[in-house]
Chains A and B, each alone.
Chain A
Amino acid sequence: MSNIPTLSMKRRLKYVVVVAVVLAFCVLVGSLVNISVLNYDVYTGYANRNQLRPTTIAPTRGTIYDRNMGILAQSATVWDVIMSPVSINSEEKDGGKQKQLLVQGLSDLLELDPEAVMEKANKKNQYQIIKSKIEKEDADRVREFLNENKLNGIISLVESTKRYYPNSTMAASTIGFVGSDSQGLYGLELKYDKELSGTPGYVVSLKDGHSGNDMPDKSETRYDPVNGNSLVLTLDETIQHFLEKALNRAIIQHKPDKGVCGIVMNVNTGEVLAMANLPSFDLNQPYTLYDEAEKARIAELPEEEQKEATSAAILNQRINKSISYTYQPGSTFKTMVASAALEEGVCNENSSFFCPGYVQVEDRKMKCHIGIPGHGTQNFRMALVNSCNPAFVDIGKRLGPDLFFKYFQAFGLTQRTGIDLPGEGDSSYYNASQLGTVSLASSSFGQSNAITPIQLVTAVSAVVNGGYVVTPHLVKDILDENGNVIYSTPTEVKRQAISEETSALMRDMMESVVTEKTGSNAYVKGYRTGGKSGTSQKQNPGDKEGVYISSYIGVAPIDDPEIAVYVMIDESTSGDIYGSVVAAPVVTSVMSDVLPYLGFTPKYTAEDLETMNTTTPLLTGRGVLEAESKLSAVGLGKPKIIGDGATVVKQVPSVGSPIPKDGMVILYTEDAEEEMVTIPDVIGLKPALAQSRLEKLNLNVVINGSDDPVYAKITEQNIAKDTQVPIGTVIELTSVRSDTD
């Protein structure tokens, strides 16, 4: 049949096309085997990288404790409120009812602007942050609202953490703070960020390729986070409080332009018990400017400069001067020079020096702070007590540049102390070859070289502790998330700068600094302390004319030193500038609080006991006679009795108040009226005069501080003038000895 397909057609189909088709499919099978069998691992890897996207579970950041496990910084769970606007019923579906309910509910519960919430609700996506970091109470209320109105599909509460600093401003620049992702940004929070932050956990789940949502019904794998380690600081909340309390009083009294700072350190271990920089800032709001004076200054600036000035001021307010500020330490540095001279034998305790009130060094005439005619003839010990500049110029000359620098180095003043805080400052100094006659002379009384407060504290610690230069530190222990100690900072002795003998002699001489003057501002009743004040004129470019840094470093107990207390007042504006006047009373105040707190029993001298206070016993409800005998039992004299009754109904001061031994208690009987009196202004008076004036008004007077009859004057009264108080009230006065270094 001619119409049937030709043989060639059939052959071409059978032997070529069919074979080609089968062959083509075989090639494809080869391709498939290559992909899904031979390269299975490769593509599974790609698939996993594609689909498995881990969601981080943030670990809980470790807690920062003080040495008694008081909480200084702690993280708590908070919640971010996330809305998925596309999940809200559309206008067509319910006329916008659900959206209205949602927006109203959320803005009421979270105190948000309803318009802003509505704007977010109108977005066409799945992720809008409504509010971040809400606390448990708010989160619970939001959850309840969601459950009641069946809105759980639209709003989710995502866990997050927030850092709380319960003491807000306490030790702020030391503790530091974290950023919004709980990353350490400042202070110990930054230094120990790795320890504190822990290791994040992950939820590995399958995500789609669109918006990264979870694929439905697919299992997930969870890797729990390892929570951060906690820090136990060497800081003691109570000592920190004592220090800040005393510093705050100094701020009120001396209104320093550049603030104050202070350090309390264990001289043997380098453990920092307190470290303060005031005015401080609130760690919970670290980006707010707190200094009112600074705010006022910025408000005066042209508007375009204000923002920048504010940022600069905020950066400035957190600076930890205790470790980062370098300054010329002044006379406090003489303790190191004296140690070096004794250690090297270029002087001994009895070496004699003459001070005519100045010293001529080459073409320079360097004045002694006392002025002409000077200290006259004095021995080595008195040269330190007098803080005599000409004497120390002589001592420095005897040491010579090489030995001078050798000890400068040995006391650790050329290197950072290595304290575990970020931002430690670098000292600037003349090295041995740079020290000429003039610079050696000025260096000898603490000028020319600039060091940080922590360097000074560490060096003075070495002077008194037997010569050992230790590394100051703030972290005592590191705890794992279960509270086990995984690391304890050991005491690190870098070197011995001076011998035990020299150190013992220095302790003795530093005690003389406190005891040689009557009514010294550094005298702490019941305790043996030593110390040295310093006053340095600020001469850096940018510094105003005639501004000073007043500092004092005290050591106690001086016979077996435990703590050093350092205080620095930067640019006092009260008129008083000497460290012995401005800073020493602060150290005394800190020590009077800290030494009993640390368990050192006071040993009062007869003189101390004479001026000691006692406390009032409970007298109300007793018979008058019984009251009188109770008073004499605690060493108080006859009370003043007002009224004719037989029973005491009221006593001033009330029970448990401190009252001087020679104080008088006022007792009222049933029929008596309370007598009032107006407080006068006694500031600036000599203590004795102030006391007699107040006692005439039937007030009880407690005077803290110097009782020097010639040089002391009242600097503070705890009840302001013109206040009406009942007679018998105890008024506390602070007296300070006008002094030089």
Chain B
Amino acid sequence: MTRQFPSQGVRPGQNTRRAPAPKGKAGRAPKKKSGGLFRRLSTAMAESGKLDSALVIIILTLLTYGLIMIFSASYPTALDEGKSSLSYTLKQGGFALVGVAAMFLASLVDYHVYRRLVFPLYIASTILLILVLIPGIGSKMGTFARRWIVLGPVNFQPSEVMKFAIIVMFAHLVSVHYKRMNTFRYGVLPFALCLGSTAVLMMKEPHTSGTVLIVGIGFIMMFVGGTKLRWFAAVGGAGVLGIAGIIMMGKLDYILSRLGSWLDPFAEELYLNDGWQTAQSLIAIGSGGIMGRGIGNSHQKYYYVSEPHNDFIFSIICEELGLVGALIVILLFILFALRGFSIAAKAPDKFGYMLAVGLTAQICLQAVLNIAVVTNTIPNTGISLPFFSYGGTALLMQLGQMGILLNISRHSTVDKT
């Protein structure tokens, strides 16, 4: 089946001289605007290709697994707070339902629309990152860092929005400059400016883990996009210098304490403070053994593991379901990665390709970093486990972005059976 792809020429510019595309969807869009939402949706569905059902199954499996574990991990906390044992689970479940709906809706929205929105999206995200720093607008949510904007009953992290904006921006930049990605001016500078400004703003919150994540995703996209390897070496060097700078700025103690509790979280002087979270996570994982204590039977969720339904949910999975349960989680993420990258590989254009790479890489990187933290493979930093960790808006955004990935799958150049 031959498909028609939208031209990149929606924005007049650099690439218009490239092969004039057949009439794309973008071209038809104005007509559709006159119709009702339902009509537009059904038209979109009818016109779209088939979405990747394998990815849908993987996502729904992760999600279900996640909700079950949220229930198991959260009920002691819920009960202790005087709430119903299901209170966290129902809230997260609600977001999951809305999120799945959003995912299917987004899968119907032609992903090229984001390319048109790339600059407004990026600028809006930057403004949000600035706004969140202002006390009164940004909230600390009881932590030490000002990372959240609260809007009535919901709250979100502008950095999550920025993460998406960067993915779209980098997909756009690569698709525009793919020929000159080996140069500094086009292959490094614009990316570096984006990442640099974002990193500076996010470190003001401060939000190290988020910064690491965004920079990581950015690097993966740059690398895939064709940035020369030596620039990464240079950036690595700059990073080392940056760390040296941070140390000079007097954060040495903080960093050393982090390193200390990473190297030996059970050390006597660390166990009850800096090492506690990591140590309790390791105890949960270790005491789960191969088969685990059985679902619902975690001991460590009783106020040993900090926020057992949140960043450390994976250690509760390990304690209750053992190595087996953990391997199933990892296997699901590997399948997700393979499926996501295969969608990228089949994307009809560079923007779709890079977008799919970015979205998939985002989930994978976050999962890897989260599991690496709870297993103390890397020093402790707050990164949630996609589809598992408690957090409504984050889940909603993840599922929405999965919708975009699914939309890219609808445009696959290879037939699916």
Indicate whether A and B interact. Answer: yes
Give A contacts to B, CB under 8 Å: 1-6, 8-10, 12-14, 16-18, 21-22, 24-25, 27-29, 31-33, 35-37, 39-40, 42-44, 46-47, 50-51, 206, 208-210, 215, 218
* A3/B286 in contact, CB under 8 A: no
Q: Judge if B25 is at the interface, Cβ distance under 8 Å.
A: no
Task: Name the B residues within 8 Å of A51 (CB-CB).
Answer: 299-300, 302, 304
Q: Mark B380-417, 1 if CB is under 8 A from A, else 0.
A: 00000000000000000000000000000000010000
* A43/B283 in contact, CB under 8 A: yes
Given contacts A6-B178, A14-B345, contact A35 B286 (CB under 8 A): yes
Task: Name the A residues within 8 Å of B322 (CB-CB).
Answer: 36
Identify which of residues 1-26 in chain B touch chain A, using a CB-to-CB cut-off of 8 Å: 5, 8, 18-19, 21
Task: Name the A residues within 8 Å of B220 (CB-CB).
Answer: 17
Interface centre among B18, B303, B357 (most CB of A within 10 A): B303
Q: Could you name 11 residue pairs across A and B whose Cβ atoms are closer than 8 Å?
A: A3-B19, A5-B345, A5-B353, A9-B225, A27-B372, A28-B372, A43-B286, A47-B299, A50-B280, A215-B299, A218-B299
Q: Mark B263-303, 1 if CB is under 8 A from A, else 0.
A: 00010000000000001101111111110000000011011
* B304/A209 in contact, CB under 8 A: yes
Query: CA of A206 to CA of B298 in the docked complex: distance in angstroms?
Result: 11
Task: Name the A residues within 8 Å of B285 (CB-CB).
Answer: 32, 35-36, 43
* A37/B289 in contact, CB under 8 A: yes
Task: Name the A residues within 8 Å of B327 (CB-CB).
Answer: 29, 32
Question: How many residues on B have C-beta within 8 angstroms of the other chain's C-beta atoms?
Answer: 61
Q: Judge if B344 is at the interface, Cβ distance under 8 Å.
A: yes
Task: Name the A residues within 8 Å of B55 (CB-CB).
Answer: none
Nearest B residue to A215 via CB reads B302
Cβ-neighbour of A37 out of B76, B290, B341, B368 (below 8 A): B290
Query: CA of A44 to CA of B289 in the docked complex: distance in angstroms?
Result: 9
Query: CA of A508 to CA of B287 in the docked complex: distance in angstroms?
Result: 83
**Chain A's nearest CB lies how many Å from the CB of B78?**
13
* A36/B225 in contact, CB under 8 A: no
* A36/B289 in contact, CB under 8 A: yes
Nearest B residue to A20 via CB reads B220
Query: CA of A40 to CA of B287 in the docked complex: distance in angstroms?
Result: 6
Task: Name the A residues within 8 Å of B226 (CB-CB).
Answer: 6, 8-9, 12
Query: CA of A8 to CA of B5 in the docked complex: distance in angstroms?
Result: 22
Cβ-neighbour of B333 out of A6, A25, A39 (below 8 A): A25
Q: Mark B357-392, 1 if CB is under 8 A from A, else 0.
A: 100010010001001100111000000000000000
Task: Name the B residues within 8 Å of A43 (CB-CB).
Answer: 282-283, 285-287
Q: Judge if B47 is at the interface, Cβ distance under 8 Å.
A: no
Cβ-neighbour of B283 out of A9, A33, A50 (below 8 A): A50
**Chain A's nearest CB lies how many Å from the CB of B350?**
5
Task: Name the A residues within 8 Å of B375 (CB-CB).
Answer: 28, 31-32, 35
Give B contacts to A, CB under 8 Å: 5, 8, 18-19, 21, 76, 80, 174-175, 178, 220, 223-226, 266, 279-280, 282-290, 299-300, 302-304, 318, 322-323, 326-327, 330, 333-334, 337-338, 341, 344-345, 347-350, 353-354, 357, 361, 364, 368, 371-372, 375-377, 413
* B345/A32 in contact, CB under 8 A: no
Interface centre among A13, A42, A209 (most CB of B within 10 A): A13
Nearest B residue to A29 via CB reads B330
Q: Is the interface of A mostly helix, strand, loop or mixed?
A: helix
Cβ-neighbour of A17 out of B175, B266, B361 (below 8 A): B361
Given contacts A5-B347, A9-B350, contact A47 B287 (CB under 8 A): yes
**Chain B's nearest CB lies how many Å from the CB of A364?**
71
Nearest A residue to B372 via CB reads A28
Task: Name the B residues within 8 Å of A16 (CB-CB).
Answer: 223
**Chain A's nearest CB lies how many Å from the CB of B390?**
19
* B289/A2 in contact, CB under 8 A: no
Task: Name the A residues within 8 Å of B224 (CB-CB).
Answer: 9, 12-13, 17
Query: CA of A299 to CA of B229 in the docked complex: distance in angstroms?
Result: 93
**Chain B's nearest CB lies how many Å from the CB of A254?**
65
Cβ-neighbour of B353 out of A9, A28, A40 (below 8 A): A9
* B348/A3 in contact, CB under 8 A: yes
**Chain B's nearest CB lies how many Å from the CB of A548?**
64
Cβ-neighbour of A22 out of B266, B299, B337 (below 8 A): B337
* A31/B287 in contact, CB under 8 A: no
Nearest B residue to A40 via CB reads B289
Query: CA of A4 to CA of B338 in the docked complex: distance in angstroms?
Result: 20
Task: Name the A residues within 8 Å of B21 (CB-CB).
Answer: 3
Task: Name the B residues within 8 Å of A32 (CB-CB).
Answer: 285, 318, 323, 326-327, 371, 375
Task: Name the A residues within 8 Å of B330 (CB-CB).
Answer: 25, 28-29
Query: CA of A29 to CA of B290 in the docked complex: distance in angstroms?
Result: 12
* A31/B372 in contact, CB under 8 A: yes
> Can you name 18 extra interface pairs (CB under 8 A) apart from A24-B364, A47-B287, A215-B299?
A3-B8, A5-B350, A8-B226, A9-B354, A17-B220, A18-B338, A25-B371, A28-B375, A36-B318, A39-B286, A40-B289, A46-B286, A46-B287, A50-B304, A51-B300, A208-B76, A209-B300, A210-B302
Given contacts A47-B300, A51-B299, A210-B302, contact A13 B337 (CB under 8 A): no
Given contacts A3-B350, A36-B289, A209-B303, contact A21 B337 (CB under 8 A): yes
**Chain B's nearest CB lies how many Å from the CB of A587?**
65
* A21/B290 in contact, CB under 8 A: no
Task: Name the A residues within 8 Å of B288 (CB-CB).
Answer: 36
Query: CA of A50 to CA of B303 in the docked complex: distance in angstroms?
Result: 11
**Chain B's nearest CB lies how many Å from the CB of A295?**
50
Cβ-neighbour of B371 out of A3, A8, A28 (below 8 A): A28
Query: CA of A645 to CA of B282 in the docked complex: distance in angstroms?
Result: 106
Query: CA of A51 to CA of B297 in the docked complex: distance in angstroms?
Result: 13
* A13/B345 in contact, CB under 8 A: yes
* B18/A46 in contact, CB under 8 A: no
* B18/A3 in contact, CB under 8 A: yes
* A208/B302 in contact, CB under 8 A: yes
* B304/A1 in contact, CB under 8 A: no
Task: Name the A residues within 8 Å of B19 (CB-CB).
Answer: 1-3
Interface centre among A1, A10, A25 (most CB of B within 10 A): A25
**Chain A's nearest CB lies how many Å from the CB of B327?**
7
Task: Name the B residues within 8 Å of A13 (CB-CB).
Answer: 224, 341, 344-345, 357
Shortest 3 CB-CB contacts between residues of A and residues of B: A43-B286, A208-B302, A209-B303
**Chain B's nearest CB lies how many Å from the CB of A443?**
62
* A46/B345 in contact, CB under 8 A: no
Query: CA of A348 to CA of B6 in the docked complex: distance in angstroms?
Result: 140
Task: Name the B residues within 8 Å of A17 (CB-CB).
Answer: 220, 223-224, 341, 357, 361
Task: Name the A residues within 8 Å of B354 (CB-CB).
Answer: 5, 9
Interface centre among A8, A10, A209 (most CB of B within 10 A): A209
Query: CA of A28 to CA of B372 in the docked complex: distance in angstroms?
Result: 6
Given contacts A2-B19, A9-B225, A25-B330, contact A46 B303 (CB under 8 A): no
Interface centre among A21, A33, A37, A40 (most CB of B within 10 A): A21
Query: CA of A31 to CA of B281 in the docked complex: distance in angstroms?
Result: 13
Nearest B residue to A12 via CB reads B224
Nearest A residue to B287 via CB reads A47
Query: CA of A231 to CA of B273 in the docked complex: distance in angstroms?
Result: 49
**Chain A's nearest CB lies how many Å from the CB of B130?**
32
Task: Name the A residues within 8 Å of B318 (CB-CB).
Answer: 32, 35-36
Task: Name the B residues within 8 Å of A10 (CB-CB).
Answer: 345
Query: CA of A729 to CA of B353 in the docked complex: distance in angstroms?
Result: 126
Nearest B residue to A211 via CB reads B303
Nearest B residue to A13 via CB reads B224
Task: Name the B residues within 8 Å of A6 (CB-CB).
Answer: 178, 226, 350
Nearest B residue to A9 via CB reads B224
* B18/A44 in contact, CB under 8 A: no
Query: CA of A206 to CA of B286 in the docked complex: distance in angstroms?
Result: 17
* A46/B283 in contact, CB under 8 A: yes
Interface centre among A4, A9, A35, A47 (most CB of B within 10 A): A35
Task: Name the A residues within 8 Å of B289 (CB-CB).
Answer: 36-37, 40, 44
Query: CA of A371 to CA of B223 in the docked complex: distance in angstroms?
Result: 122
Interface centre among B80, B286, B333, B364 (most CB of A within 10 A): B286
Task: Name the A residues within 8 Å of B279 (CB-CB).
Answer: 46
